[in-house]
A and B are shown apart, each in its own frame.
Chain A
Amino acid sequence: MTYTHIPSPPNKSWGRWLGRNSRQGNWWAPLLIILITVVILLVTTDDFATSQNASNLLAQAMPLIIVAIGQMIVVVLAGMDLSVGSVMSLTTAILALDGSPVVLILLVILAAASIGLVNGFAIVRLNVHPIIATLSMQFIVLGIAQLLRPVAGGFVPDIVVTVVTGSVLGIPAAVFWAVFVVALGWKLLHGSRFGLHLFAIGGGAASGQTDTAHNFGLKDHRNIVLAYVLSALFAALAGVFIAGRIASGDPGVGSQFALDSITAVAIGGTQLSGGVGGLHGTILGAVLMSLLANGMNLAGLSAFLQGAIKGAILLLVVGLQSRKKMGL
Chain B
Amino acid sequence: MQPAVTMKGVTKHFGSTRAVNDVSFEIHRGRVHALMGENGAGKSTLMKILAGVHRPDAGEITISGRTVAFADPREALAAGVSTVFQELSLLPNLSIAENMFLGKELIGRFGIPNRSEMGRRTAQALSELGMSLDPNTLVSELSIAERQFVEIAHGIKADAQVFILDEPTAALNAADVEILNTQIAKLKAAGKAIIYISHRMDEIFAICDDVTVMKDGTHVATQPLSELSPDGLIALMVGRELSDLFPARAKNTGPVLLSCQALRLSQDSDAISFELRAGEILGLAGLEGQGQSEIVRSLIGQFPAIRGRVAVADQSIGLPLPTEGGVRFMQNLRVGFVPEDRKEEGLLLGAPIAENIGIALQAARPGFRPLARFRDAVKRVMAEMNVKAESSIMPVGALSGGNQQKVLLGRYLAADMDILIIEEPTRGVDIGAKAEIYRLLRALANEGKAIITLSRETVELIGLCDRLLVIHDQRIAAEMAGDDATEHAILNAALTQ
Q: Compute the total of residue contacts between A and B using a CB distance below 8 Å.
A: 118
Given the complex of chains A and B, what is the CA–CA distance between A202 and B142 in angstroms? Answer: 19
Q: Is the CB of B105 within 8 A of A327?
A: no
Residues of A within 8 A of B72 (CB): 214-215, 217
Chain B CB within 10 Å, residue with most, of A1, A4, A192, A218: A1
Q: Are B173 and A2 in contact (CB under 8 A)?
A: yes
Distance of A196 Cα from B91 Cα, bound (Å): 12
Say which one of B59-67, B92-100, B406-414 lies at the interface with A.
B92-100
Q: In the bound complex, what is the Cα–Cα distance between A200 and B138 (angstroms)?
A: 12
What is the bound-complex CA distance between A217 and B89, given in angstroms?
Answer: 13
Let me know if B292 is at the binding interface, CB within 8 A.
yes
Q: Say yes or no for B175: interface residue by CB 8 A criterion.
A: yes
Q: Are A5 and B91 in contact (CB under 8 A)?
A: no
Q: Tell whether, in the assembled complex, residue B175 and residue A204 are in contact, meaning their CB atoms are under 8 Å apart.
A: no
Asked if A319 lies at the interface with its beta carbon under 8 angstroms from chain B, I say no
Q: Which residues of A contact B92 (CB under 8 A)?
A: 203, 207, 275, 326-328
CA distance A8 to B297 in the complex (A): 23
What 1/0 flags go to B462-494 for Cβ under 8 Å of A? Answer: 000000000000000000000000000000000
A233 at the interface (CB under 8 A from B): no
Contact status B143-A328, CB under 8 Å? no
Asked whether A149 is an interface residue with its Cβ less than 8 Å from the other chain, the reply is no
Main secondary structure of the interface of B (DSSP, over half): loop
- Determine if B103 and A7 form an interchain contact, defined as CB atoms under 8 angstroms apart: no
User: B102, A200: Cβ atoms under 8 Å?
Assistant: yes
Q: Choose one: A7, A200, A276, A325; the contact of B143 (CB below 8 Å).
A: A7
In the assembled complex, the CB of A187 is this many whole angstroms from the nearest CB of chain B, namely 8
B176, A5: Cβ atoms under 8 Å? yes
- The distance from the CB of B473 to the nearest CB of chain A, in whole angstroms, is 13
B410 nearest CB across to chain A (Å): 24
- Select the residue from B89, B92, B93, B297 with max chain A CB neighbours within 10 A: B93
Flag the segment in B9-17, B109-117, B238-246, B353-361 that touches A: B109-117
B138 contacts A22, C-beta separation under 8 Å: yes
B91: chain A residues within 8 A (beta carbon): 200, 203-204, 207, 209, 212-213, 275
**Residues of B contacting A187 in the complex (Cβ-Cβ under 8 angstroms):** 112
Cβ of A191 and Cβ of B103 under 8 Å apart?
no
Determine whether the beta carbon of B173 is less than 8 Å from that of A5.
Answer: yes
The chain B residue with its CB closest to the CB of A4 is B289
Contact: A202 with B93, CB < 8 Å?
yes
Decide: A215 near B74, CB < 8 A? Known: A5-B289, A327-B138: yes
Contact with A along B141-162 (1 / 0, CB 8 A): 1111110000000000000000
Residues of chain A within 8 A of B140, CB atoms compared:
21, 325-328
| Beta-carbon contact of B288 and A23 below 8 Å | no
- Size category, A interface: 35 or more
We find that the number of chain B residues with CB closer than 8 angstroms to chain A is 46
At the interface, yes or no: B341 with Cβ under 8 Å from chain A? yes
Indicate whether A11 reaches chain B with its CB closer than 8 angstroms. Answer: yes
Check A191 against B73 for contact (C-beta < 8 Å): no
Q: Which chain A positions have C-beta within 8 A of B312?
A: none
Give bound CA distance, A215 to B51, whole Å. Answer: 10
Whether B39 is near chain A, meaning CB under 8 Å from some CB there, is no
> Does A300 have its Cβ within 8 Å of any Cβ on chain B?
no
Chain B contacts for A14, CB-based, 8 A: none
Q: Cβ of A3 < 8 Å from any Cβ of B?
A: yes
A203–B113 contact, CB under 8 A?
no
* Contact (Cβ within 8 A) A215 B93: no
Cβ of A196 and Cβ of B105 under 8 Å apart? yes
When C-beta atoms are compared, the residue in chain B nearest to A326 turns out to be B93
**Does A82 lie at the interface of the complex (its beta carbon under 8 Å from any beta carbon of B)?**
no
Is B256 part of the binding interface, using a Cβ–Cβ cutoff of 8 Å? no
Contact across chains for B111 and A193 when beta carbons are under 8 A apart? yes
Q: Does B53 contact A (CB under 8 A)?
A: yes
What is the CB-to-nearest-CB distance from B114 to chain A, in angstroms, rounded to a whole number? 11
Report Cα–Cα, A193/B92, bound state, in Å: 18
Contacts of B89 in A (CB 8 A): 209, 212, 215
Q: Which residues of B contact A199 (CB under 8 A)?
A: 93-94
Known: A4-B289, A5-B173, A217-B74. Contact between A193 and B93, CB under 8 A?
no
Give the distance in Å from the alpha carbon of A135 to the alpha carbon of B95 in the complex.
34
Given the known interface contacts A217-B72, A217-B74, the answer about A3 and B173 at a Cβ–Cβ threshold of 8 Å is: yes
B143 contacts A11, C-beta separation under 8 Å: no
Q: Given that A1-B297, A8-B146, A23-B138 are known contacts, is A196 also in contact with B98, CB under 8 Å in the complex?
A: yes
CA distance A21 to B74 in the complex (A): 29
Nearest-CB distance from A225 to chain B (Å)? Answer: 18
Contact B141 A9 (CB under 8 A): yes
A126 within 8 A of B: no
**Once bound together, how far apart are the Cα atoms of A214 and B91, in whole Å?**
11
Within 8 A of B (CB), among A179-206: 187, 191-193, 196-197, 199-200, 202-204, 206
B293 within 8 A of A: yes
Does B175 contact A218, Cβ atoms closer than 8 Å?
A: no
Q: Are A192 and B112 in contact (CB under 8 A)?
A: yes
- Which residues on the A side are within 8 Å of B138 (C-beta)? 21-23, 327
Contact at B171–A2, with CB atoms within 8 Å?
yes
Q: Is B107 an interface residue (CB 8 A)?
A: yes
Task: For the complex formed, measure the closest distance between the CB of A26 and the CB atoms of chain B, giving whole angstroms.
Answer: 14
Q: Is A304 part of the contact surface with B, judged by Cβ < 8 Å?
A: no
- CB-CB < 8 A to A2: which residues of B? 144, 171, 173, 340-341
Q: Is the CB of B73 within 8 A of A8?
A: no
List 20 additional A-B contacts (Cβ < 8 Å) besides A7-B143, A200-B98, A325-B140.
Answer: A2-B171, A3-B173, A4-B173, A5-B175, A8-B142, A21-B138, A23-B138, A199-B93, A200-B91, A203-B91, A206-B93, A209-B87, A209-B89, A209-B91, A212-B89, A212-B90, A214-B72, A216-B74, A217-B103, A327-B139
